[in-house]
Structure 1
Amino acid sequence: MKTITFIGNGNMALSIAKGLKDNYYIEVVGRNQQKLDAFEKDLDVKIDKNLLNDFDITDKIIILCVKPANVEEVGKQLKGTASVLYSVLAGTTLQKLQTNLNAKSYVRAMPNLAASVGASMTTLTGDAAYKDEAIELFNSIGSTRWLASEKEIDIATALAGSGPAYLALIAEALADGAVKQGLKRDDALAIMRGLFDGFGKLIQDVHPALLKDGVMSPGGTTAAGYSALEDGNVRSACISALEKAYKRATEL
């Protein structure tokens, strides 16, 4: 099996590593030995652990998972030239990566936290020579989509990268609404989870508008609830959320 080297040991690195650990050897580089040990424990598999200072990345397959603001500092502490560098840093351009880290090729990737359960929606762009390898790598943690430009991956970051937070808000709100009407909390949560599980399968093959029309009968319960969502400008708020998240990605 190939070795994948993670630079950074935060939540995103752990989520991706959980998805990759059955198909790749995992090496992790960080600043703190205790945090590296905790990473290994959470991953529940033996890994190679290394401290950041003067770590040699020569000919390694790197997944960069540090904070965007730390790119310059981290780059100064690495030596050698990686075979390929995959960056999961939101809003961090290929040019900035090339300026601060040495690699033969660069690819930007935007997975989400569902990587930990093998269900990430990961978008990719960068060196087209690594398109097939990038798709194979990130298919290990879910679905992938190669995009034509960095602008598109910044938009995709707002949709798929940040999307779990938006859906979590909607999920919580729906459960709260059921509790308000008298449903027990544990029942409301169980039903909401079943709803999302089934919807996730349906949306793969059916356009959202057709799903909505299929549920909404004239004068029925769905029509009444849907009207309330429109009154609350939910559609407009979702569109604005994507716009603001995209703009923020370009500012990082």
Structure 2
Amino acid sequence: MRTITFIGNGNMALSIAKGLRDNYNIEVVGRDAKKLQDFEIEVGVSVEKRLLEGFNMEDKTVLLCVKPANVDEISKKLKGKARVIYSVLAGTSIEKLKSSLNSGAVVRTMPNLAASVRKSMTTLTGDIEFKEEAEEILGSIGKTLWLSSQKELDIATALAGSGPAYLALISEALADGAVKQGLKREDAMVVMRGLFGGFGELIQDIHPALLKDGVMSPGGTTAAGYGALEDGNVRSACMDAIAKAYKRAKEL
């Protein structure tokens, strides 16, 4: 099996490694031997563990999973020329990566935390000759979409990359609302999880507006609740969340 070298061992690296472990050999590079050992335990399979200082990237297929602010520092500790770098760094341009790191090619990718259960929505862009390989590797953890520009990737990052946090907030708030009205917490959580599981399937084939219209009968319970969401400017807040996250991606 092909080896994928992870530089960085945080939450995103762990989620992706869990998704890739059945189809690829995993090598992980980090600063702390204990954290690398913990990473291997969490992944659940044997991985090659390497310390960052002096690590040789020569001809490696690298998945870069460090913090954007650490790119320059990391670059000083690495040796060799990577075959290709797949970067999950939000807002960090291909130009910046190529100037800081020695690589034959760079592809920017933005998976999300659902990578660990192979349900990520991953957007990609970069050196076109690696498009097919990028789709194959990242396709192991869910759906992929190749975009034509880095601007589009940054916008998609605000949607799919950050989206799990937005949906987590909404799911928690809906469950809290049910508890406030008198439903037991454990029952509210079961109902909420069932809601999101079913909705995730429906939204694949049905436009959101049609789903909404199909549920909302005149003067009914859904119409009353939907009106409260509109009164609370939920639609506007969601759109603003994308705008703020995209702006932040450009600033990183």
Shorter chain as denominator, the TM-score bin is over 0.9
The equivalences for 1:116-127 within 5 A come to 116-127=116-127
Distance 1:202 1:208 in 2: 9
Residues matched between the structures, number: 252
Distance 1:20 1:53 in 2: 25
Q: Does 1:59 align with 2:59?
A: yes
Distance 2:170 2:44 in 1: 32
Distance 2:244 2:15 in 1: 25
Distance 1:10 1:224 in 2: 43
Q: Does 1:89 align with 2:89?
A: yes
Distance 2:228 2:26 in 1: 49
Corresponding residue SS for 2:144: strand
The aligned residue for residue 139 of structure 1 is 139
Amino-acid identity (%): 72
Q: Does 1:191 align with 2:185?
A: no
After superposition, what is the alpha-carbon deviation per residue over 1:107-151, rounded to whole angstroms, capped at 9, x for unaligned?
000000000111000000000111111011101001100000000
Distance 1:222 1:136 in 2: 42
Please, what TM-score do these two structures have when normalized by structure 1? 1.00
Distance 2:136 2:169 in 1: 32
Cα displacement (A) at 1:44: 1.2
After superposition, what is the alpha-carbon deviation per residue over 1:53-110, rounded to whole angstroms, capped at 9, x for unaligned?
1100011100000000000010111111011100000000001000110111100000
The aligned residue for residue 18 of structure 1 is 18
Corresponding residue SS for 1:104: coil
Distance 1:11 1:168 in 2: 17
Distance 2:214 2:226 in 1: 13
The aligned residue for residue 226 of structure 1 is 226
The aligned residue for residue 29 of structure 1 is 29
Distance 1:215 1:102 in 2: 54
Distance 2:113 2:76 in 1: 28
Distance 2:247 2:193 in 1: 31
Corresponding residue SS for 1:140: helix
Corresponding residue SS for 1:102: coil
The equivalences for 1:152-231 within 5 A come to 152-231=152-231
Query: Structure 2: any 5+ residue segments left out of the alignment?
Result: none
Structure 1 segments (4+ residues) deviating >2 Å: none
Distance 2:153 2:83 in 1: 22
Distance 1:35 1:126 in 2: 31
Q: Does 1:246 align with 2:243?
A: no
Amino acid in structure 2 at the alignment position of 1:240: D
Corresponding residue SS for 1:22: coil
Corresponding residue SS for 2:53: coil
Distance 1:102 1:203 in 2: 41
The CA RMSD over aligned residues, in Å, is 0.4
The equivalences for 1:97-112 within 5 A come to 97-112=97-112
Query: Structure 1: any 5+ residue segments left out of the alignment?
Result: none
The aligned residue for residue 48 of structure 2 is 48
The aligned residue for residue 79 of structure 1 is 79
Distance 1:195 1:132 in 2: 35
